[in-house]
């Protein structure tokens, strides 16, 4: 998998991603401590609001920023956005009011909402080979998982010698280092993409493109299924482990670590799975596993060892269901439209989380963890069933892509668009039978 690092440009960009993720992990810990410092017992409400602000920024800013910035020199835009994020991070230690935290968090996450889709759309241009790109997105997923496991430990070590305010300085340094690495990389120039109509048309182009493609509508259903399952972990772990199971804070960390380990193990196995099976087969099977896990959770979540297994399986299922989506986005359109498509996926997928996060917390609080498993499991099943219906099999795609082109979007030729899918299917006929 690490063989993809032999490409100098990708190696530099991956390094930028790693240092930025490290800074973000430090900020997550520092933000919780800052909320407690400002709000005391109401810190949970502050963090919940900050999380909602983050999701709102992701959903609203990504399409607009891509429409405004997508045609500009990409390296300069990415460096500028990293510097904006660094400036916001270094300002956080100076806040004295909760509303100031909310304002700076919105600016920080708006910068991330603009940066991430452009960064993601750059990688296919750097690695045009499908096999290399698959390993690149898998390596990226592993970086996210390792960050969630290691950043708290790094923050804890730092807090033994500095105050929590200095963690924000580490965040700023991470973004600054990312900017330097991006600046040193040879980033491909964006291809010109003709624009017609009003600015509103350019802003919504990616979402219209996304929703016009049957396979991408299926991918959106997968995002919803993964958000419903993942919300059980991210929202309800603390309360269930501490109050429901009567365990201490270290058990909370262990449960979250189990989820991260499951995701990491699945990411390691993903390249070989995608070499043998089609994207559709891997993703739909993973979504089905999530449905089964949440169903089992309604009966087994009261047992500590079982909870660790359930959380690990949810991590693995989400990793297998979501990571191949980048390959589908890459193959769905030609280069000029990729930033808009990645921005649409970023915004729409986070819309699913914006719905599922509060729902998971509200149901668990008002009706209990068992009911939460049932309700979120039902939503996961709806998402998985929707993906099965909406995502067409490869042999049906000629007519589907022809209809997609009627919307005025430039797709890749069908032969190129699904070459990997067809190769997987021809080498192993059962791959797409699901």
Q: Which residues of 407-419 are buried (b: 16+ CB within 10 A; e: fewer)?
A: eebebbebeebbe
Interval 336-366: pLDDT, tens:
778 888 888 989 999 999 899 888 888 888 8
Q: What is the DSSP letter of 52?
A: H
State the average pLDDT over residues 238-266.
Answer: 85
Supply the CATH classification number for the domain 1-183: 1.20.1250.20
- Residue spans of the domains in the chain: they are 1-183, 205-434
Which pTM was predicted? Answer: 0.81
pLDDT (0 to 100) of residue 434? 34
Residue 404 pLDDT class (50, 70, 90 cuts): very low
1-183 and 205-434 share one fold: yes
Nearest to 374 by CA among 294, 286, 289, 287: 294
pLDDT above 70 for 414: no
Alpha carbon distance 143, 15 (integer Å): 10
Burial of 26 (0-12, 13-18, 19+ CB in 10 A): buried
Which of 265-269, 293-297, 305-309 is least confident? 265-269
User: Does 1.20.1250.20 match the CATH number of domain 205-434?
Assistant: yes
pLDDT (0 to 100) of residue 311? 95
- The answer to whether the beta carbons of residues 89 and 55 sit under 8 Å apart is no
Distances (CA, A) of 151 to 21, 59, 143, 168: 9, 26, 11, 13
State the average pLDDT over residues 109-126.
Answer: 88
The two three-digit tokens of residue 76, written as one number:
């300069």
pLDDT (0 to 100) of residue 432? 38
Query: Which single residue is written with the structure tokens 């500009």?
Result: 72
Alpha carbon distance 169, 163 (integer Å): 11
pLDDT above 80 for 430: no
Q: What is the DSSP letter of 118?
A: H
Nearest to 294 by CA among 226, 352, 347: 226
Query: Which single residue is written with the structure tokens 């290399």?
Result: 132
Alpha carbon distance 255, 235 (integer Å): 12
Alpha carbon distance 105, 30 (integer Å): 12
């Amino acid at each position: 998998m690490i063989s993809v690092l032999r490409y100098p440009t990708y190696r530099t960009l991956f390094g930028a991603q790693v240092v930025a993720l490290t800074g973000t992990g430090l900020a997550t810990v520092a933000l919780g401590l800052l909320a407690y410092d400002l709000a005391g017992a109401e810190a949970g409400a502050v963090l919940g609001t900050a999380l909602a602000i983050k999701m709102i920024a992701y959903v609203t800013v990504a399409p607009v920023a891509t429409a405004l910035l997508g045609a500009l020199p990409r390296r300069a835009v990415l460096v500028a956005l990293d510097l904006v994020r660094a400036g916001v991070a270094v300002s956080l230690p100076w806040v004295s009011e909760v509303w100031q935290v909310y304002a700076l968090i919105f600016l920080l996450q708006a910068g991330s909402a603009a940066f991430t889709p452009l960064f993601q759309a750059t990688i296919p241009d750097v690695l045009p080979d499908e096999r290399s790109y698959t390993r690149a997105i898998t390596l990226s997923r592993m970086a996210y998982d390792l960050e969630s496991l290691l950043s708290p430990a790094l923050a804890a070590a730092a807090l033994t010698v500095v105050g929590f305010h200095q963690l924000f300085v580490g965040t700023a340094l991470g973004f600054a280092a990312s900017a330097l690495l991006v600046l040193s990389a040879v980033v491909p120039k964006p291809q010109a993409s003709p624009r017609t109509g009003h600015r509103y048309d350019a802003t919504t182009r990616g979402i219209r493109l996304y929703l016009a493609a049957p396979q991408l509508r299926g991918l959106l259903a997968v995002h919803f299924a993964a958000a419903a399952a993942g919300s059980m972990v991210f929202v309800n772990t603390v309360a269930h482990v501490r109050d429901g199971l009567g365990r201490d804070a270290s058990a909370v960390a262990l449960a979250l670590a189990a989820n991260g380990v499951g995701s990491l193990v699945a990411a390691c196995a993903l390249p070989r799975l995608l070499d043998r099976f089609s994207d559709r087969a891997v993703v739909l099977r993973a979504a089905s596993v999530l449905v089964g896990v949440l169903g089992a959770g309604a009966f087994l979540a009261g047992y500590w060892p079982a909870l660790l297994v359930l959380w690990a399986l949810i991590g693995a299922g989400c990793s297998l269901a979501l990571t191949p989506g980048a390959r589908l986005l890459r193959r769905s359109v030609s280069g000029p439209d990729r930033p808009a498509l990645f921005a649409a996926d970023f915004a729409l997928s986070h819309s699913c989380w914006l719905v599922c996060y509060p729902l998971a917390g509200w149901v668990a609080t008002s009706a209990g963890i068992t009911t939460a498993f049932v309700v979120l499991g039902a939503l996961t099943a709806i998402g998985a069933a929707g993906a099965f219906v909406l995502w067409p099999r490869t042999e049906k795609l000629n007519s589907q892509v022809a209809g997609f082109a009627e919307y005025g979007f430039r797709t890749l030729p069908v032969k190129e668009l699904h070459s990997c899918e067809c190769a997987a299917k021809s080498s192993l006929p059962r791959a797409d039978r699901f």
